[in-house]
Amino acid sequence: MDGRSEIIIDLAAVADNVRRFAAMAEVIAVVKANAFGHGDVRVAHTAMRTGASGLGVTTYHEAFGLRRAGITAPILTWLISPGDDHEAALAAELDIAVGTLDVLEAIARVCVTTRRTGRIHLHVDCGMNREGARSSELLPLIHRSRALERAGLIRVIGLMGHLPDAGLGPEHNEEGLELFAAAYHQAFVAGLRPAGRIRNGN
């Protein structure tokens, strides 16, 4: 052997997986990190063609690459910092997950200057302890989001979170699911009507 290795990506298998999951629930196909090495553009096309309702990536940079490739599907991004190019994100019609007031306010300021409405998902920490609003931070984020929504600057279309042990089943994620359910209830009581979405811990 010459020491070289080869990986074969079976898009038919990707398509079959998406069809199976889409038959049971809404699917947002996560294609971050070049679709985990599978090729983000071709996996994205395959997923959208076979039942996914949208795509997910971590950063604006990844989302912009998909847009440049001609992909017009909804794209959710969730690793956001105040210094990111929110104007470009709004122009690219990205869905933005927000877990801090600083990021929310930065996006709102750009919404004012560009006269665009931000499509926001509130990002809840469901136990990953690395991103998303914790319980103590969540209510101020919800109420400020509702105020900005009333002002016409943003629209809260989703609530998202990461379960740290999703691959092990619901019994291993009771605390995370309870945190998410409580967050959804708080958002609903405040007058928001987001869709709820939970990812695994990858």
Strands (E) across the chain are located at 28-30, 54-57, 75-77, 95-98, 118-124, 154-162, 195-199
Residue 15's pLDDT is: 97
Q: What is the mean pLDDT of residues 122-147?
A: 94
**Mean of the pLDDT values across residues 184-201?**
80
Q: pLDDT tens for residues 61-78?
A: 999 999 999 999 999 999
Question: 40-49 vs 11-22: helix axis angle to the nearest 10?
Answer: 40
Q: What is the pLDDT of residue 196?
A: 63
- Cα distances from 84 to residues 11, 87, 108, 184, in angstroms, run 33, 9, 13, 27
Ranges of H-type helices in 52-173: 60-68, 86-91, 101-114, 135-150
* Six-digit token string for 40: 């983000």
**Residue 201 in this model has a pLDDT that exceeds 50:** no
**Which pTM does this prediction carry?**
0.90
pLDDT of residue 202: 47
